[in-house]
Amino acid sequence: MGKKALELLKTKCDEKNYQRLIALNNQKLIDFVAKYVEHCKPKSVFVCTDAEEDAEYIRNKSIENGEEKRLTITGHTIHYDGYNDQARDKENTRYLLPSGTDIGPLNAVEKEKGLKKIHEILKNIMEGKEMFVCFFCLGPVNSPFSIPACQLTDSAYVAHSELILYRRGYEEFKRQCPENFFKVVHSAGALENAVSKNVDERRVYIDLENYIVYSTNTQYAGNTVGFKKLSLRMAIYKAAQEDWLAEHMLIMGIHGPGGRTTYLTGAFPSMCGKTSTAMVKGETIVGDDLAYLRNINGKAYTVNVECGIFGIIQDVNPQDDPLIWEVLNKPGDVIFSNVLVTDENIPYWLGDGREVPEKGVSFSGEWVKGKKDSKGNPIPHAHKNARYTVGLYGLKNCDKELDNPQGIEIKGVIYGGRDSDTSCPVQEAFDWDHGVITMGAALESETTAATLGKEGVRVFNPMSNIDFVSIPLGRYISKHLEFGKGMDNPPSIFSVNYFLKDKQGKYMNAMQDKRIWLKWMDLRVNGDAEAIKTPVGYIPKYEDLKRLFKEVLDKDYSEEEYIEQFTLRIPENIKRVERIIDTYRTKVSDTPAILFDILEEQKQRLEEVRKSKGDYVSPASL
């Protein structure tokens, strides 16, 4: 657009904001902003730099616009999404793919058709509103991991959320002057009572080739904060071209003997213990959701893409989540969403351990005990997907390496699912390929009654990333295998299962037992513990676990408990292997041959042990 773009921006920006754009010396950015200023027709444009005064301007605008309201504790606010805008819109989240492109069974729309539709919706959508031009850095600044990012939005709430969740990136943009950067165009659309009115026109479209996310007629952060799961899809696409990994993973530090810290990443499907693992007592958190991994000089390094948490608040209480509870009850920049707020401007949510107030304002509007929806169903005082948005820096267990531009060397990768009858609480893969295939690519998780209304249905979810994989699944798995081949000593791979049950249906693991499994991983990757080899991987020795239970939890751990938990369940393991083989043979056309080889070898090992030792084999006999 060149000169025309500059002239257009002069009509929408005051001199200060115009100069902020010019100072970036980036014509591609100028053209991008100008294109959507011209198309969306905002009344004015605010350009957010890294300055705190700019963040304060956006926070105040969110209050002024009615998107947020101040609560009793300084810095805390409440935001409500529309009644029908409370979660990620999977149906209308689609990839824009050129005609003839095949990347597997993904939710997609033909690119030209999709672009036409989204631009029809965006036409003049910001009339009368202010456009916020915000810059972020995905990953630490001045880092080999850094991806510059720019979001255009007419929602001060969305911009405020991103200022908490991501590192500010205006100066990084200026430093890099990138030609390729992640872009998001968002509008909440017409508002009614400060929430998106035209939810039937809600669309979230992702243009992988040009690294652009389009989001319209929605405020819910999962649909609008473009640098979370939406940009994860673009990052996976980019990583596959550049030989690194973009993953749906926590990052944490395990504190072991002699003051050492061992860093691990971990992928867990929903409701499988991801957040509780990242926040486990005695260890430190680097991140709870998104990780970039790179091979640097033959070692695996990672960073947290974010610097904050957009977390589900249900069941956060002072007993189970003391560190989160503390942040949610002290002054600081905190956004609550879709919880109940009383006349005293105090927030309440499901499972917080407090007595439910008689009345207040919630996601359903004015709320009183006994309120019902149009079908006669009770409306809870807070939404089950209600959230909190906080920065990691306010947590006492925030790891000091969070912003290390060189990244953090990781020694282990964890895959965890919900499994009532097959996998033991913790085990280690034989090597990188074995772990990628049998623990990562084979990851599945049982549904709960609360999730789908039916318990025990096993959902296939490789690397806990199935919803976000933007390349053919077979290629995605191949990229993981290649990642390990380029290393002198790739990270160990572990699986954990916090949900194993006995014959009476009782969980064999207590909630705090995960601390022991993590401590054992620290010992293993540092060569401080031996293990027992089984047909499916290495498991701990009883003596090591007994000592750890006593040292860490001051708990006696009996040999009977150990045998019950770590018995090799051969029929269930064989069925699992057969399920996974069948899934890849029937549903994934580009599966690498090594996947079938490794799974068939595992099945053969199980059958050989079964012949000599029976269906259920005590670890003592292995």
3-class SS of residue 327: helix
Q: What is the bridge-based pairing of β-strands 412-416 and 492-496?
A: parallel
**Residue type (1 letter), 279:** M
3-class SS of residue 608: helix
Residues 6+ apart with CB under 8 A from 270: 451
Per-residue 3-state assignment (H helix, E strand, C coil) for 569-604: EHHHHHHHHHHHHHHHHHHCCCCCHHHHHHHHHHHH
Contact 300, 291 (CB under 8 A): no
Q: 165: left (phi > 0), else alpha (psi -120 to 50), else beta?
A: alpha
Instruction: Give catalytic residues, as residue numbers.
Output: 272
Bridge partners for 460 per DSSP: 444
Nearest residue to 282 via CA among 175, 182, 399 = 399
Residues 6+ apart with CB under 8 A from 385: 86, 87, 312, 314, 338
The runs of H, that is alpha helices, within 130-283 are 156-165, 170-176, 221-224, 229-242, 274-278
Contact 170, 52 (CB under 8 A): no
As a whole number of angstroms, the distance between CA 168 and CA 149 comes to: 10
Per-residue 3-state assignment (H helix, E strand, C coil) for 195-234: EECCHHHCEEEEECCCCEEEEECCCCHHHHCCCCHHHHHH
Nearest residue to 442 via CA among 433, 451, 450 = 433
As a whole number of angstroms, the distance between CA 577 and CA 612 comes to: 20
Cα 222 from chain centre: 10
User: Order of strands, edge to edge, in the sheet holding 408-409?
Assistant: 245-247, 291-296, 299-304, 408-409
- Tell me which DSSP letter residue 530 carries: -
170 is written with which tokens?
């205006």
586 is written with which tokens?
């029937």
Cα 413 from chain centre: 16
